[in-house]
Structure 1
Amino acid sequence: MQEGLLTLYSEVEASPIHWLWYPYIAIGKITLLQGDPGDGKSTMMMNLIAEITTGGAFPDGKPLEQPQRVIYQCSEDGVADTIKPRLEEQGADCSKVAFINEEVNSGLTLDDERIRDAIVAFRPRLVVIDPIQAYLASDSDLQISGKARRLMQHLGMWATAYECAIVLNRAP
């Protein structure tokens, strides 16, 4: 047998999963939120962002320990006329919600180091990418498992390394 090829599970130290919102959104992991257009994915995220940034409670009533920061990256809605008013309507603390300005930073993709840089600089507890399709490079195809795996690998490593949860919104 080739040296270093296999690792025995007996050599792995088990560790618990840390949850942002149990059992839906885990810290250090990627969560895919999928639904048809108009199902309320973005509205649900706005409500969740409001609760996270104010230290409120999750939809199931479980209280948050303290207010946290969020990166909400959305390419489909206007920042000033749609996203900020929605955040304010839900009661979010907008001083704890950031985004990468795509007017200045064009060509943003899911495996872009600027996302990692933003996570390092802002230290959010939650990163939301809405919708995932808008941040796929022209040569990306989520239907091809090898490409999808490589694409998600960066995000997953960043979520783990910087202890944040990443939610990807996707409409079919």
Structure 2
Amino acid sequence: MQRRTLQQSGWTVELTAAVDIPAEAIQWIWPSWLPKAKLSILAGAGGCGKTTLAISLAATISRGGDWPDGSKGEIASNVIIWSGEDGVADTIVPRLIAADADLNRVHIIQGRTDMYGNRQPFDPAVDFPLLHEAVDRIGGVSLLIFDPIISLIRGDMHRANEVRQGLQKVVDFAELHDCAVLGITHLKKGGSHTSVVEQIIGSQAFTALSRGALVAMTFKDFETRVLVRAKANLSIDSGGIQYFIEPVSLHDQIEATCIRWGEIIEGSAEAIFEEMERSGISKPESALDEASRFLVEVLDAGPVAITTLQSLAADSCISWATVRRAQKKLGIRSCKAGMQSGWMWELSNKR
């Protein structure tokens, strides 16, 4: 059987001379830091305040405020936030209030509903297309935050093809709605890497598809932190800003945290990172150390069902294989509360 060529099928390649394509300037939400119509990544180790940083950016956009480097903000506009790790009422909203956000312009994704009013959880990997109509309903959006961005991936976050498939719809969304998309993620535990960008967890496709990568770092005293531009396809990939996380007491005895910005720091992300190391930066703990600390904290009050531990470990992005290694390291015992009960783990010094 003779195969049909592409020409025979009626398809042709469309070519346009470059002279006929008008040049366009890059548009920015935060000049040289957060581009419009593009995907960006915000990464950091535990304790860096990634979510608090993102909320600070959201608050600035919602009220049309100026940026921490002195750049002038645009007109106040809408922000959409999806969080799979923090409570909305007790964490996200108090932090928005502490950051002086216009709460009328910040919209939280809390689920999906059908025509009959039935409500279900929002699954970013499956339900993302529903956001197009939601954006039109609120009159547009300037920033969409996903925390964590790996929730958009249905398969293995270490497989480039699966990551690209999951993120392409986000890239298309950003371009269609002319908004910035900021995905929050973690840094790899331990190990040595040639660049700060290579420390971002998951497949390299995360940073390949994003047009910028911001990385949060912390000093050993955990008081002074730095936000750096680790990758910037559309501007210079250097420079950083100091920031501090400060507690805030709101009304009704509600406690929150907010960002206080500090000085501008010059240099590449790697140079800033090396300087912080010489100054005594605390490197991220190893995966085994993190899992060990996790088990001690969870089991301190008594035995916990293995199924519960598995769920808590997954929520904390700790692999079960590493948890099992930590179990052996700490000498944690398996036990049963009764013949009809499932297996539990307990610390060896709790009996």
Q: TM-score range by the shorter chain?
A: 0.7 to 0.9
Retained in 1: the 8 A contact 2:61–2:74? no
* Residue of structure 1 equivalent to 2:181: 166
**How far has the Cα of 1:53 moved from its partner?**
0.8
1:13-92 to structure 2, matched below 5 A, reads 13=21, 14-92=23-101
Percent identity between matched residues is 28
Question: Do the aligned partners of residues 129 and 12 (structure 1) sit closer, same or farther apart at CA in structure 2, a change above 3 Å counting?
Answer: farther
The C-alpha deviation readout for 1:52-105, integer Å capped at 9, x for no partner, is: 111111111112131111001111111111110010011001110002213834
Structure 1 alignment gaps of length 5 or more: none
- Structure 2 runs not aligned, ≥5 long: 1-5, 113-118, 187-200, 202-351
Name the TM-score, length of structure 2 as normaliser.
Answer: 0.45
Residue in structure 2 matched with residue 132 of structure 1 by the alignment:
149
Match of 2:103 in 1: 94
Contact 2:150 2:157 in 1 (8 A): no
* Deviation for aligned residue 1:15: 2.5
Alignment of 1:106-121 (within 5 A): 106-110=121-125, 112-121=128-137
3-state secondary structure, aligned to 2:144? strand
TM-score (normalizing by structure 1)? 0.87
SS of aligned partner of 1:133: helix
Q: Distance in 2 between matches of 1:39 and 1:63?
A: 26
Structure with the bigger percentage of strand: 2
Higher relative contact order (CA 8 A, sep 6+): 1
> Would you say the 8 A contact 1:100–1:118 is kept in 2?
no
CA distances 1:33-53 after superposition (whole Å, capped 9, x unpaired): 111122121111111111111
More deviation in 92-101 or 114-123?
114-123
Give me the CA root mean square deviation. Answer: 2.3
Q: State the SS of the aligned residue for 1:92.
A: coil
Summarize deviations over 1:133-162 as a string: whole Å, max 9, x none.
23432xx22322222222111111111111
1: CA distance, partners of 2:183 / 2:36: 14
After the TM superposition, which parts of structure 1 deviate over 4 Å for at least 4 consecutive aligned residues? Answer: 5-9
Q: In the superposition, relative to structure 1, how do residues 149 and 6 fare at CA in structure 2: closer, same or farther (>3 Å)?
A: farther
SS at match of 1:71: strand
Letter in 1 for 2:156: D
